[in-house]
């Protein structure tokens, strides 16, 4: 009855456009609980647009864009979602998340000052960028460089502003893929925020998320739910497979299968391989944690959470624990979701590879609860 009065659907779908696959999760909200309604995945390698021979066979050529649109259509056909609009993510790589420190000032002046600051980080014209910001902290009696104090009250409050920006063309592009016959575009956000929502949620601690996909890795430092650092690296599982193939002198296909198997390539003295991409990710993670603890003497990282398809790699937890000298957890974004027993086993196996899609669907639930 209440649902009827509210006049809106309690079903929410999130769609993650990864480079290996498109993943979707549909959730519903009933009796203050979140239920898994359905999920789906389309492997981009098996779509016609990724395979030149298949294109020849069907006598049609697909661009990369058409391929993604086709993939979403197939996904929705299989899932038959009840949700009427879909939340979509933009790869962390395509956006900017940064914290800027400045003096407090009235809102209208602040907007202008932030635009000015943003120019330092964004080389392209601001007209082409969609930008949002939020004051996340106010600090009394800040000591700012003299230049910034001139003409202002030396005792002004310093503020920390979280600035988020992404190119408008990417926002439009990702939105367009999901806008199909029965589906509207809901919210569009950087996948960084979807990951944080799915893996950290309301947890008040400080965490480092390491999400390793196929072609991209996101390292995110979250302090009490707020993104403090977001580092995107242009490499991922792809490079792990290549490293295994090269070291063992085998094909990439064989290396991919071995990588997903039970052999530990990372920790056994006799069988460990050098995997440069993982060493690089670990050194970046270490650098980010180091910088954070220098800046925030009292704060410490409560845990490192692994996510993305690569988080399932045998021995990865132990590997990072050794290199980062901290406790590592493989993120399980499904903990807070109710699912039928049969589905639960399946989704727990999928684990972290659905974090982004789940985080997007959870955004729908959070907004629903607020209304």
Ligand X SMILES: Nc1ncnc2c1ncn2[C@@H]1O[C@H](COP(=O)(O)OP(=O)(O)OP(=O)(O)O)[C@@H](O)[C@H]1O
Report if residue 18 touches ligand X, rule: CB under 6 A: yes
Alpha-carbon span 202 to 200, nearest angstrom: 6
* Interatomic CA distance for residues 132 and 166, integer angstroms: 9
Nearer to ligand X, 26 or 191 (CB): 191
213 binds Mg ion (CB under 5 A): yes
Least distance in angstroms from the C-beta of 210 to Mg ion: 12
Token code pair at residue 264: 């530990």
The one segment of 65-73, 213-221, 229-237, 287-295 that binds Mg ion by CB under 5 A: 213-221
Residue choice 305, 313, 324, 328 for contact with ligand X (CB under 6 A) = 313
- For Mg ion, give the closer residue by CB, 10 or 232: 232
Please say whether the beta carbons of 353 and 318 come within 8 A.
no
Told to check if 71 binds Mg ion by CB under 5 A, we report no
CB of 121 to ligand X, least distance (A): 23
**Residue number with CB closer to ligand X (216 or 358):** 216
Backbone angles phi, psi at 139, to 5 degrees: -120, 130
> Using the 8-state DSSP alphabet, how is residue 79 labeled?
H
Strands annotated E in 4-141: 11-17, 21-30, 33-43, 85-90, 96-103, 129-139
CA distance 271 to 273: 6
Residue with tokens 């106010």: 138
Residues 241-280 that bind ligand X (CB under 6 A): 256, 259-260
Hunting for tokens 């990702």 — which residue is that? 174
User: What backbone torsions phi and psi does residue 15 show, to the nearest 5 degrees?
Assistant: -125, 125
Using CB under 6 A as the binding rule, whether residue 19 contacts ligand X is answered as yes
Using the 8-state DSSP alphabet, how is residue 335 labeled? Answer: T
Choose the stretch contacting Mg ion; rule: CB under 5 A; options: 15-23, 100-108, 157-165, 273-281: 15-23
**Binding-site partner at residue 353 among Mg ion, ligand X, none, CB < 5 to 8 Å by type:** ligand X
Spatial CB neighbours of 187, under 8 Å, sequence gap ≥ 6 = 87, 88, 360, 363, 364, 367
Q: Which does 214 bind (CB under 5 to 8 A by kind): Mg ion, ligand X, none?
A: ligand X
Q: How far is the CB of 14 from ligand X (least distance, A)?
A: 13
Binding status of residue 18 toward Mg ion by CB under 5 A = yes
Partner that binds at residue 312, options ligand X, Mg ion, none, CB closer than 5 to 8 Å by kind: ligand X
Query: Exposed, middle or buried, 123 (CB in 10 Å: 0-12/13-18/19+)?
Result: exposed
Q: Enumerate binding residues for Mg ion (CB under 5 A).
A: 18, 213
Q: Enumerate binding residues for ligand X (CB under 6 A).
A: 18-21, 213-216, 236-238, 256, 259-260, 308-310, 312-313, 353
């Amino acid at each position: 009855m209440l649902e009827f009065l509210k006049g809106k659907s309690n079903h929410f779908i999130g769609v993650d456009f990864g480079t290996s696959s498109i993943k979707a999760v549909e959730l519903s909200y009933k009796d203050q609980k979140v239920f898994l309604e359905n999920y789906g995945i389309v492997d981009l390698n098996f779509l016609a647009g990724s395979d030149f021979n298949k294109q020849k066979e069907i006598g049609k050529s697909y661009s990369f864009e058409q391929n993604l649109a086709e993939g979403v259509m197939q996904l929705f056909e299989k899932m038959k979602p009840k949700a009427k609009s879909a939340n979509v993510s933009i790869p962390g790589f395509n956006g900017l998340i940064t914290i800027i420190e400045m003096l407090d000032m009235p809102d209208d002046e602040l907007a202008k000052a932030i635009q000015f600051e943003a120019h330092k980080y964004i080389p392209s014209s601001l007209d082409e960028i969609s930008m949002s910001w939020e004051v996340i902290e106010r600090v009394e009696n800040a000591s700012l460089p003299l230049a910034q104090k001139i003409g202002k009250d030396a005792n002004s409050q310093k503020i920390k502003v979280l600035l988020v920006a992404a190119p408008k063309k990417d926002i439009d592009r990702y939105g367009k893929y999901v806008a199909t016959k029965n589906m509207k575009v809901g919210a569009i956000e950087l996948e960084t925020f979807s990951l944080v929502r799915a893996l950290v949620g309301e947890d008040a601690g400080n965490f480092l998320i390491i999400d390793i996909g196929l072609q991209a890795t996101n390292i995110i430092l979250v302090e009490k739910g707020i993104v403090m650092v977001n580092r995107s690296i242009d490499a991922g599982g792809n490079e792990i497979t290549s490293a295994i193939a090269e070291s063992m002198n085998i094909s990439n296909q064989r290396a991919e299968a071995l990588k997903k198997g039970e052999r530990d390539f990372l920790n056994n003295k006799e069988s460990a391989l050098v995997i440069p991409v993982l060493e690089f990710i670990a050194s970046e993670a270490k650098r980010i944690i180091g910088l954070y603890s220098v800046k925030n003497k009292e704060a410490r990282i409560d845990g490192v959470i692994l996510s993305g398809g690569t988080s399932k790699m045998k021995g990865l937890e132990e590997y990072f624990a050794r290199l980062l000298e901290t406790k590592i957890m493989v993120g399980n974004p499904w903990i807070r979701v109710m699912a039928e027993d049969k589905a639960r086993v399946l989704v727990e196996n999928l684990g972290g590879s659905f974090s982004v899609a789940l985080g997007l669907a959870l955004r729908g639930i959070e907004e629903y609860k607020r209304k």
